[in-house]
A and B are shown apart, each in its own frame.
Chain A
Amino acid sequence: MLTAFLVFFPLAAALLLHFAKGSAARILALGASFLELAVAVFAAIVYARSGPTGFDLNLSWIPSAGINFHLGIDGLSLCLVLLTTVLVPIILATAFRHEEYENPGAFYALVLFMQTGLLGVFTAMDAFVFYFFWEVALLPIYFLASVWSRSDRRIQITFKFFLYTFIGSLFMLAGFVYLYLQTGPAAGSLAAHSSDIQAFYTTGKQLAASQQAWLFWLIFAAFAVKMPIFPFHTWQPDTYTESPAPATMLLSGIMLKMGIYGCLRWLLPVVPLGVTQWQQLVMVLAIIGIIYGAIIAIRQHDIKRLIAYSSLSHVGLMIAGVFSLRAIGLQGAVVQMLAHGVNVVGMFLVADAIERRTGTRHIADLGGLTRRTPLLSVCFLVMLLSTVALPLTGGFVGEFLLLAGVYEFNMWAGAIAGLTIIFSAVYLLRMYQRVMLGPDSAHSDTMTDLTGAELTMFIPLIALVFWLGLFPGTFLHLSEPTISSILTAVGR
């Protein structure tokens, strides 16, 4: 019940928003997202007490085909459910800051609609339910990123984004359909096949290595585009840069995690032999992504674009951690998914605050902003240092575990991947120096500090940065059983 409420309540709120106008719409949207957060926290408490059993929801959906509407929450899902429900209120609040949005009610409704899609993805326990929500999440973000963007190139950019991700997911669907046709009937079902996750796990690993080899790429295509991994990333920098701030936060903060989550839940245990065959190639691509993203980030002049490339680089490390197939690497990926979600939303929040005040994102036009903005400077610095992986912050725990995993896989890979920390220190600190410190610019006198409302948005993010940095055990403990069962399935 709780699972169904979590997934469908945002959708219901989104539909209700149709009837609300002006500030009523804001209150309704924000209220709904807070209620959702409260329910998620409640679910976490229930989970801590009684484990995953009570969260299973298994309804008949297409009985003739053996497809069930199966949702469930385990520790891994719970981490991402919490991330989503924490970030959505902040993303909505960012949207409130933008008075210029036309038809804002529709904007909030789409954000909530997207939340339903995301939570569906993170809780789906049936392959077709997973695919269904995967696409449901794409529709709202496409409209959010395109209709409310002010860029001249928005049509081409979002079109490319849509085509890329949709084509990627069609490959995944093809892979799922093939696997589905190999499954046997579920217990007590009249249908010849079943698309339940357990059926996929048992069927997938029995397939011949050669079959798993190409199935791996079919399924991985969707995840590779979504994360994105080099060389499937070309949609990402443009889309991140030109989308309105809340859409960018949704894309980078949560939607990107769909890809990593997908690898953990629907790739590694489903085609374990395929994974071991391609492990090295993916590792190489991931490490190329780390270096490539970082080097390009150094050369950027636009704050948002710099963060976009930085995100590309950090995602590379997460993929490398996942494909190290070591417990420590996978656990690191879980923590880093959370930490990166918090960090990148915080960074884009800073970028948005600066852009709204100065009207520019161009680093060369900025400088000396810190004089009048002590609060902004501190918030910026915390988010930045967590992204750079300074000890005590969430980014440090995540990246440390990830690097340890990669190091276990291969020492040299670990060494090269470790450059990410140095590189990100270079480009992020340089940006901070040129934007906040440095010689005064035209904006340094007119710049205003964070308002109370904005500060309230940063406080939970900063709290989470330190929570993840100081007590990562909370989340590691949650995800541990799932991670170890995944590794057992892969044969580690």
Chain B
Amino acid sequence: MLPIVLLSVFGIINLFFGFLRSNRVLLPFALVVLALVFGLNLLDWNHAGSITGLFDSPYVAQMLTVDNYSVAFSGIVLLTALVLLPFSRSYVAANEPNLAEYYSLLLFSLVGAIMMVSYNHLIMLFVGIEILSISMYCLAGSDKRNVRSNEAALKYFLQGAFATGILLFGIALVYGATGTFQLNELAAAIAAPANASLQSMLYVGVLMMVIGIGFKVSAAPFHFWTPDVYEGTPTFFTAFMSTVVKTAGFAAFLKLLLVALPGASAVWLPTIVAMCVLTLLLGNVGAAVQTSAKRMLAYSSVSHAGYLLLGLVAGRGQLSGPAAQAIFFYSLAYSVATVAAFGVLKLVSDQRQREDYAGLAGLARTNPLLAFSMTLAMLSLGGIPLTGGFFGKFFIFTAVVAQGYIWLVVFAVLMSMVGIYYYLRPVIAMYMRPAEPGNDAPIVVDGFQSATLVLLALLTLVLGILPGFLSNIL
């Protein structure tokens, strides 16, 4: 609870910095706030109901729950935002107008994300998704003078609003069939239906909810907004979208399926399996044919939604079961690697003004650290051992095989072979192709950004070498 309150309060305070003439204070302030909130969030670990006691009141407790599950996923979301922030330096340097609002929107969107991972009531899920999404619609269009950014914001908004409508409709139908918004009461109502004639209404509702959330996490066939939106959005916010939004979305998704809807798995399981196959196929094949590194990362984020959907297929049992563990580990490894990849891409594209593979050429010579970070990130996203991404895939695949979906895992393995193909291309460009003449000056990176990249690289390696200490914590 404290993280939500603090982020909201500091977000509002942050708005007033907009009156200042200088933007210098914004980044340090946001970093301090996030570090503080991240630490406070961890204090709730193993304190079901939160150490502040705010959750002991039944009113709040029925809306939101603080448990290890929510703390763990809030932790990922906050950590991601924290390590992403240093890459916003160029906005401060350019003295961008309205910068205070952007930082405030980031903080507000985190409020939404935390609500999404700790909801216990479908209305809170909806409110959380909306807080997160509306902040993102604005941020997608934050490069006001760029047509592509405007296009991204408009597309994202229209399609997001459409998806939200479907989600809300689904919630309404489920409520109509069961008479409750509470997750555990829902599960009980589905297990022992009071009125059998409402079954079909319930099923349609469940299906619409799955589709609504599927939109948000860019699962195929509802992914088509992703590449355009990700490409048009300023790189910094693309990174935010493809990590925070996805992590929160999947945490919410898993909680919904595990806690509220185990009785309706006859409806959602085949749907998720079909979405998973399509997402893996379209995401990976789509990424393989790109020439722009940013667009490749956009499709790659679709493909990772596919692997996370695979984790949902294994979604049975407790919120501390193998599926939740695997999705937690995967989201963490994915977020760390994605932040590093987008961070490097942003630094490079700010200076070289191009976002394709050729823009990365020769980076190993001019900026070994950037090249190394990017390489590690690509290896992790590709799921190669020594990196966190390998164990993320490993845990998910093992959980799914244990549920008997061998063919699905075989398909996912085949798709990750395609993944190797496109994740190696930036590496080849950086290490084996010479930079464009005239555009080959070393990229300017400040010490703080370098330190962040080193931290991310270390995190990726630690996750890949010593996964044991995080693989069973929920």
B54 contacts partner chain A, Cβ-Cβ < 8 Å:
no
Question: By CB atoms of chain B within 10 A, which of A155, A178, A181 has the most?
Answer: A155
Partner of B471, one of A64, A132, A146, A154: A64
In the assembled complex, the Cα of A170 lies from the Cα of B432 at a distance in Å of 26
Q: Are A132 and B385 in contact (CB under 8 A)?
A: yes
Q: Are B416 and A139 in contact (CB under 8 A)?
A: no
Interface residues of A in 112-126 (CB under 8 A from B): none
Partner of B397, one of A135, A143, A159, A177: A177
Interface residues of A in 136-183 (CB under 8 A from B): 136, 139, 143, 146-147, 154-155, 159, 162-163, 166-167, 170, 173-174, 177-178, 180-181
Q: Are A65 and B409 in contact (CB under 8 A)?
A: no
Partner of A159, one of B379, B413, B424: B424
In the assembled complex, the Cα of A136 lies from the Cα of B465 at a distance in Å of 11
B194 contacts partner chain A, Cβ-Cβ < 8 Å:
no
In the assembled complex, the Cα of A178 lies from the Cα of B398 at a distance in Å of 9
Q: What string of 1s and 0s marks CB contacts (under 8 Å) between A387-398 and chain B?
A: 000000000000
Q: Are B428 and A159 in contact (CB under 8 A)?
A: yes
Q: Are A139 and B424 in contact (CB under 8 A)?
A: no
Q: What string of 1s and 0s marks CB contacts (under 8 Å) between B428-467 and chain A?
A: 1001110000000000000000000000000000000011
A131 contacts partner chain B, Cβ-Cβ < 8 Å:
yes
A60 contacts partner chain B, Cβ-Cβ < 8 Å:
yes
In the assembled complex, the Cα of A139 lies from the Cα of B380 at a distance in Å of 12
Interface residues of A in 62-95 (CB under 8 A from B): 62-65
In the assembled complex, the Cα of A65 lies from the Cα of B325 at a distance in Å of 11
Contacts of A177 in B (CB 8 A): 394, 397-398, 401, 409
In the assembled complex, the Cα of A118 lies from the Cα of B410 at a distance in Å of 28
Partner of B468, one of A60, A139, A146: A60
Q: Are A61 and B402 in contact (CB under 8 A)?
A: no
Q: Are B398 and A65 in contact (CB under 8 A)?
A: yes
Q: Are B420 and A62 in contact (CB under 8 A)?
A: no
Partner of B402, one of A64, A155, A162, A181: A181
B417 contacts partner chain A, Cβ-Cβ < 8 Å:
yes
Partner of A143, one of B385, B431, B468, B471: B431
Name the CB-closest residue of A to B417: A167
Contacts of B421 in A (CB 8 A): 163
In the assembled complex, the Cα of A370 lies from the Cα of B416 at a distance in Å of 52
Nearest chain B CB to A146 CB, angstrom units? 6
Q: Are A166 and B384 in contact (CB under 8 A)?
A: yes
Nearest chain B CB to A375 CB, angstrom units? 37
Contacts of B410 in A (CB 8 A): 174
In the assembled complex, the Cα of A178 lies from the Cα of B413 at a distance in Å of 13
Q: Are A147 and B401 in contact (CB under 8 A)?
A: no
- Given A62-B467, A65-B471: A163 in contact with B417 (beta carbons within 8 A): yes
Contacts of B413 in A (CB 8 A): 170, 173-174
Q: Are A136 and B385 in contact (CB under 8 A)?
A: yes
In the assembled complex, the Cα of A170 lies from the Cα of B471 at a distance in Å of 22
In the assembled complex, the Cα of A123 lies from the Cα of B417 at a distance in Å of 28
Nearest chain B CB to A220 CB, angstrom units? 16
Partner of A62, one of B364, B406, B428, B471: B471
Contacts of A146 in B (CB 8 A): 428, 431-432
Question: By CB atoms of chain A within 10 A, which of B364, B385, B397, B406 has the most?
Answer: B385
Name the CB-closest residue of B to A132: B385
Nearest chain B CB to A63 CB, angstrom units? 6
- Given A146-B431, A163-B420: A178 in contact with B468 (beta carbons within 8 A): no
Q: Are A135 and B386 in contact (CB under 8 A)?
A: yes
B472 contacts partner chain A, Cβ-Cβ < 8 Å:
yes
Contacts of A65 in B (CB 8 A): 395, 398, 471
- Given A62-B468, A139-B379: A178 in contact with B401 (beta carbons within 8 A): yes
Contacts of B416 in A (CB 8 A): 170
Interface residues of B in 205-231 (CB under 8 A from A): none
Q: Are B409 and A174 in contact (CB under 8 A)?
A: yes
Q: Are A166 and B468 in contact (CB under 8 A)?
A: no
Nearest chain B CB to A137 CB, angstrom units? 10
In the assembled complex, the Cα of A155 lies from the Cα of B432 at a distance in Å of 7
Q: What string of 1s and 0s marks CB contacts (under 8 Å) between B341-356 and chain A?
A: 0000000000000000
In the assembled complex, the Cα of A151 lies from the Cα of B409 at a distance in Å of 38
Nearest chain A CB to B129 CB, angstrom units? 32
In the assembled complex, the Cα of A154 lies from the Cα of B364 at a distance in Å of 17
Q: Are B428 and A136 in contact (CB under 8 A)?
A: no
Nearest chain B CB to A141 CB, angstrom units? 13
Contacts of A132 in B (CB 8 A): 385-386
- Given A64-B468, A135-B386: A162 in contact with B417 (beta carbons within 8 A): no
Interface residues of B in 323-348 (CB under 8 A from A): 325
Name the CB-closest residue of B to A170: B413
Q: Are B431 and A147 in contact (CB under 8 A)?
A: yes
In the assembled complex, the Cα of A57 lies from the Cα of B379 at a distance in Å of 28
In the assembled complex, the Cα of A61 lies from the Cα of B386 at a distance in Å of 14
Contacts of A162 in B (CB 8 A): 420, 424
Contacts of A170 in B (CB 8 A): 413, 416-417
Contacts of B433 in A (CB 8 A): 155
Nearest chain B CB to A300 CB, angstrom units? 27
Q: Are A166 and B417 in contact (CB under 8 A)?
A: yes
In the assembled complex, the Cα of A153 lies from the Cα of B8 at a distance in Å of 56
In the assembled complex, the Cα of A61 lies from the Cα of B394 at a distance in Å of 14
In the assembled complex, the Cα of A61 lies from the Cα of B466 at a distance in Å of 7
Name the CB-closest residue of A to B421: A163
Nearest chain A CB to B26 CB, angstrom units? 36
Contacts of B472 in A (CB 8 A): 62-64
Q: Are B432 and A135 in contact (CB under 8 A)?
A: no
Nearest chain B CB to A479 CB, angstrom units? 28
Nearest chain B CB to A265 CB, angstrom units? 19
In the assembled complex, the Cα of A147 lies from the Cα of B434 at a distance in Å of 12
In the assembled complex, the Cα of A241 lies from the Cα of B420 at a distance in Å of 24
Contacts of A143 in B (CB 8 A): 431
Name the CB-closest residue of B to A147: B431
Contacts of B379 in A (CB 8 A): 139
Interface residues of B in 362-390 (CB under 8 A from A): 364, 379, 384-386, 390
In the assembled complex, the Cα of A62 lies from the Cα of B410 at a distance in Å of 24
Partner of A155, one of B385, B409, B428, B468: B428
Name the CB-closest residue of B to A59: B468
Q: Are B432 and A139 in contact (CB under 8 A)?
A: no
Nearest chain B CB to A179 CB, angstrom units? 11
In the assembled complex, the Cα of A180 lies from the Cα of B397 at a distance in Å of 12
Contacts of B402 in A (CB 8 A): 181
Name the CB-closest residue of B to A133: B385
Partner of A139, one of B384, B398, B417, B431: B384
In the assembled complex, the Cα of A391 lies from the Cα of B403 at a distance in Å of 57
Partner of A135, one of B385, B428, B466: B385
Nearest chain B CB to A182 CB, angstrom units? 11
Contacts of B364 in A (CB 8 A): 147
In the assembled complex, the Cα of A131 lies from the Cα of B464 at a distance in Å of 13
Q: Are A181 and B401 in contact (CB under 8 A)?
A: yes
In the assembled complex, the Cα of A174 lies from the Cα of B413 at a distance in Å of 8
In the assembled complex, the Cα of A147 lies from the Cα of B429 at a distance in Å of 11
Contacts of B409 in A (CB 8 A): 174, 177
- Given A60-B468, A174-B410: A166 in contact with B386 (beta carbons within 8 A): no
Partner of B384, one of A61, A135, A174, A180: A135
Query: Which 4 A-B pairs have CB atoms at the shortest separation, nearest pair first?
Result: A64-B472, A135-B385, A62-B468, A132-B385
Task: With A135-B385, A170-B417, A177-B397 given, name 14 new contacts (CB 8 A).
Answer: A64-B325, A135-B390, A136-B385, A139-B379, A139-B386, A143-B431, A146-B432, A155-B428, A159-B424, A167-B420, A173-B394, A180-B398, A181-B401, A181-B402
A-B pairs with beta carbons under 8 Å apart, 19 shown: A63-B472, A64-B472, A65-B471, A131-B385, A135-B384, A135-B385, A135-B386, A146-B428, A147-B431, A147-B432, A154-B432, A163-B417, A163-B420, A163-B421, A166-B420, A174-B409, A177-B409, A181-B401, A181-B402
Q: Which residues of A contact B (CB under 8 A)?
A: 60-65, 131-132, 135-136, 139, 143, 146-147, 154-155, 159, 162-163, 166-167, 170, 173-174, 177-178, 180-181
